[in-house]
């Protein structure tokens, strides 16, 4: 898992923020990801406004999805994304679904299914979260999620739940 793949791998990354100027956080994270050696941006969705998951006493989120071509191994990519989160003021707490300056998740790593203590791909919440499925469908409408099916089919069963595309 730690050896870099020889050929570039198609990867999808979810970006989310609800603290410290979320739109700026997402734009800055996009630039940081694209500037990382071994990562080339292929597409970037619109920004979406979504209601928070879990505790409702927190600000609403801004979300997006980024398609990349990468030459990093899955765990190396994860560690790069975690470093970008830290550089954007992310402090990891034992609170699930709490407020955060930046949240970066690997949604898909080519067609691979990865089940490690540190990383699960496809991302476990991908198929139920409108703030991931709608932006993912926007940039990859024909995408098939390993073991889950077509993004378009999953989207048909995923209500908007307050999700709004920003212009």
Could you tell me which of 100, 104, 103, 131 has the C-alpha nearest to residue 20? Answer: 100
Here the CATH number for the domain that contains residue 158 is 3.30.70.560
Whether 167 is a known active-site residue: answer: no
In a domain, 68, yes or no: yes
What is the three-class DSSP state of 40? strand
Distance CA 159, CA 10 (A): 27
Whether 165 is a known active-site residue: answer: no
From 60, 86, 92, 105, the catalytic residue: 105
> Which strand (E) or helix (H) includes residue 106?
strand 103-109
Query: How many structural domains is the chain composed of?
Result: 1
pLDDT of residue 11: 97
From 57, 103, 129, 167, the catalytic residue: 103
pLDDT of residue 6: 61
Distance CA 83, CA 78 (A): 9
pLDDT of residue 96: 66
* pTM, two decimal places: 0.92
Number of continuous H segments (helices) and E segments (strands) in the chain: 4, 10
Whether 100 is a known active-site residue: answer: yes
In a domain, 14, yes or no: yes
- Residue-wise pLDDT for 55-93, tens only, equals 777 899 999 999 999 999 999 999 999 999 999 887 766
From 100, 115, 153, 167, the catalytic residue: 100
In a domain, 1, yes or no: no
- Average pLDDT for residues 22-40, to the nearest whole number? 97
pLDDT of residue 14: 97
- Average pLDDT for residues 148-157, to the nearest whole number? 94
In a domain, 3, yes or no: no
**Is residue 95 predicted with pLDDT exceeding 70?**
no
From 90, 96, 129, 142, the catalytic residue: 90
In a domain, 2, yes or no: no
pLDDT of residue 151: 96
pLDDT of residue 113: 95
Whether 105 is a known active-site residue: answer: yes
In a domain, 71, yes or no: yes
**Is residue 54 predicted with pLDDT exceeding 80?**
no
Domain residues for 71? 9-165
- Average pLDDT for residues 108-126, to the nearest whole number? 93
Pick 113 or 54 by higher pLDDT.
113
Average pLDDT value for the chain: 91
Whether 17 and 61 have beta carbons less than 8 Å apart is answered as: yes
pLDDT of residue 89: 83
- Average pLDDT for residues 40-56, to the nearest whole number? 92
């Amino acid at each position: 898992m730690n050896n870099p793949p020889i050929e570039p791998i198609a990867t999808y990354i979810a970006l989310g923020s609800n603290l410290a100027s979320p739109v700026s956080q997402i734009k800055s994270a996009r630039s940081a990801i694209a500037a990382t050696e071994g990562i080339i941006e292929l597409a970037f969705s619109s920004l979406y406004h979504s209601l928070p998951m879990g505790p409702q006493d927190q600000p609403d989120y801004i979300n997006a999805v980024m398609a990349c071509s990468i030459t990093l191994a899955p765990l190396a990519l994860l560690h790069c994304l975690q470093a970008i989160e830290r550089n954007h003021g992310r402090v990891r707490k034992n609170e699930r679904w709490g407020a955060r300056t930046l949240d970066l998740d690997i949604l898909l790593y080519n067609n691979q299914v990865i089940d490690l203590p540190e990383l699960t791909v496809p991302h476990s919440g991908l198929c139920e979260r409108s703030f991931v499925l709608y932006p993912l469908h926007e940039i990859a409408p024909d995408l098939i999620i390993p073991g889950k099916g077509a993004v378009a089919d999953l989207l048909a069963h995923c209500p908007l739940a307050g999700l709004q595309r920003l212009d």
